[in-house]
């Protein structure tokens, strides 16, 4: 795995961090979650920018969004009490399959 792929995966995880921090910020009324949001967002975007210089845009963006969506949904279900249903889990597995497919077909 090249450095660009590692940076892309970390950037996708940071997408989960900034999305979760955004929810925790209380519409930017809480300082520390708001600062975490800004920092994670900046790092996530910088990593995505680096990755698209080495990985085709459609592949990189699809993987980045997929990791962020899966991570954020999993965080919501594990920590925030979002519903865990068979249909939701199946949809997340379909996203995983798409992300893996993009990586394998790169």
Report whether pLDDT(1) > 80.
no
Report whether pLDDT(106) > 90.
no
Alpha-carbon span 92 to 33, nearest angstrom: 26
Residues 38-93 have pLDDT tens digits of 999 999 999 999 999 999 999 999 999 999 999 999 999 999 999 999 999 999 99
Please tell me the number of Cα atoms within 13 Å of 102 on its side-chain side. Answer: 21
Higher pLDDT, 34 or 105: 34
Alpha-carbon span 85 to 83, nearest angstrom: 6
C-alpha distances out from residue 88 to 19, 45, 77, 93, 95, Å? 19, 27, 10, 9, 11
* pLDDT at residue number 62: 94
């Amino acid at each position: 795995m090249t450095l660009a792929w590692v940076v892309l995966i970390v950037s996708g995880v940071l997408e989960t961090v900034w999305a979760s921090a955004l929810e925790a910020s209380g519409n930017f009324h809480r300082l520390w979650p708001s600062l975490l949001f800004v920092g994670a967002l900046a790092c996530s975007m910088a990593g995505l920018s680096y990755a698209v210089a080495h990985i085709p845009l459609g592949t990189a963006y699809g993987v980045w969004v997929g990791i962020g969506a899966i991570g954020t949904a999993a965080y919501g279900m594990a920590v925030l009490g979002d519903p865990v249903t068979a249909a939701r889990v199946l949809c997340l597995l379909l996203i995983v399959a798409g992300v893996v497919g993009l990586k394998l077909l790169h």
